[in-house]
């Protein structure tokens, strides 16, 4: 009787130990599976696509720079199209563009918005200017001199840029990416210039959308720096320039969302003005842009 009880007790202990080991192993497997799923979900974000507003710089009315027969407004559209292809194929981004990639016209979304919201856009612009004046007067914001003086925009262009800012604020975009190519004044604008390389502009530190914009710009810079050179123009040599004056990145503290303007290179660089080379160089810039956005939004 005592021998049987002892064997039963040993068997019971063995069963309990086996059950505990099984439970621990199941918990370990479950925990690791949950962590793996959690990691995949946080990386994929398939249920929370990031809203990216692509703004191919300039338009038919104000085409920006021109080198020989190539206009900046065309070049920015071509690059925006390549960027959009990659972001849409990725599946984690929702893309909206201000202009049609093929025709260069403003999309219905924006042409309708400019027409139907003219009063609101003007009010938005004037309110931003008044608020900025008040902040400057009280010391809430200190005026910083522009590192680089840019061409003044026309009234119509300014209206559209503030309209884009208002639309982006209303839609709470995750990023407004303004796409541009550079140039500079010289005696003969048909002759290749001496500067090359990319630079980007972000809101100055005191602006409400500055930190996130600067963080995104840094990721973009790191990625683009692997495929093209930083601008050799001395005032752009730092690569990322802070601005209080560019409407695109929130002049007068007018943007509540992140905004970055990238000058992807100088128009007269052979990779851009020679059509055959452009078919290879623009996809390369687009891939670097895509990588920079993925690094910021999904690889924290």
pTM for the whole structure: 0.83
Domain 47-298 in CATH: superfamily?
Zn-dependent exopeptidases (3.40.630.40)
pLDDT per residue as tens digits for the range 17-50: 444 444 444 343 333 333 332 333 233 344 689 9
- Percent of the chain at pLDDT > 70 equals 84
Q: What is the gyration radius of the CA atoms in the chain, in angstroms? A: 27
CB 249 within 8 A of CB 255: yes
User: So what's the pLDDT on residue 215?
Assistant: 98
Give me the long-range contacts of 34-42 (CB less than 8 A, separation at least 24). Answer: 42/298
Span of 35-44, 58-67, 71-80, 117-126 with lowest mean pLDDT? 35-44
User: So what's the pLDDT on residue 47?
Assistant: 61
- The overall average pLDDT reported for the chain is 88
pLDDT-based confidence at residue 106 (cuts at 50, 70, 90): very high
Distances (CA, A) of 141 to 120, 125, 136, 260, 261: 25, 18, 5, 21, 22
pLDDT per residue as tens digits for the range 189-216: 999 999 999 999 999 999 999 999 999 9
pLDDT per residue as tens digits for the range 128-170: 999 999 999 999 999 998 888 777 899 999 999 999 999 999 9
Return the bridge partners of 263, or none.
Answer: 180, 199
Q: Dihedral sign, CA of 8, 9, 11, 15?
A: positive
**pLDDT above 60 for 296:** yes
**pLDDT above 80 for 237:** yes
Average pLDDT over residues 14-19: 47
Average pLDDT over residues 242-252: 96
CB 99 within 8 A of CB 106: yes
Average pLDDT over residues 83-105: 98
Query: Which residue stretches of the chain are H helix?
Result: 2-44, 72-90, 108-116, 118-138, 155-171, 210-224, 270-273, 275-298
- Percent of the chain at pLDDT > 90 equals 80
- Under DSSP, the state recorded for 240 is E
Tell me which of 3 and 19 has the higher pLDDT: 19
């Amino acid at each position: 009787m005592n021998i049987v009880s002892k064997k039963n007790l040993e068997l019971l202990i063995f069963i309990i130990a086996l059950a505990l080991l099984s439970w621990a192993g199941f918990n370990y497997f479950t925990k690791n599976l949950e962590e793996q799923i959690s990691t995949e979900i946080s990386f994929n974000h398939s249920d929370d696509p990031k809203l990216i507003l692509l703004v191919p710089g300039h338009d038919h009315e104000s085409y920006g720079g021109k080198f020989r027969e190539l206009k900046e407004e065309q070049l920015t559209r071509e690059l925006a199209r390549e960027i959009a292809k990659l972001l849409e194929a990725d599946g984690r981004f929702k893309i909206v563009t201000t202009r049609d990639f093929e025709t260069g016209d403003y999309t219905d979304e924006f042409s309708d918005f400019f027409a139907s919201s003219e009063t609101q856009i003007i009010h938005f612009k004037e309110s931003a200017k008044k608020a900025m004046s008040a902040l400057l007067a009280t010391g809430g914001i200190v005026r910083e001199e522009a590192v680089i003086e840019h061409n003044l925009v026309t009234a119509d262009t300014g209206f559209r840029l503030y309209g884009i800012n208002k639309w982006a604020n209303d839609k709470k975009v995750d990023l407004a990416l303004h796409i541009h190519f550079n140039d500079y004044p010289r005696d003969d604008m048909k002759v290749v210039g001496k500067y090359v390389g990319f630079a980007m502009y972000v809101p100055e530190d005191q602006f409400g959308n500055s930190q996130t914009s600067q963080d995104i710009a840094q990721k973009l810079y790191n990625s683009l720096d692997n495929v093209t050179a930083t601008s050799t123009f001395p005032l752009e040599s730092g690569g990322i320039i802070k601005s209080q004056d560019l409407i695109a990145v929130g002049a007068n503290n007018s943007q509540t969302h992140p905004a970055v303007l990238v000058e992807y290179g100088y128009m007269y660089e052979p990779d851009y003005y020679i059509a055959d080379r452009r078919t290879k160089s623009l996809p390369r810039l687009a891939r670097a842009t895509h990588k920079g956005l993925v690094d910021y939004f999904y690889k924290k």
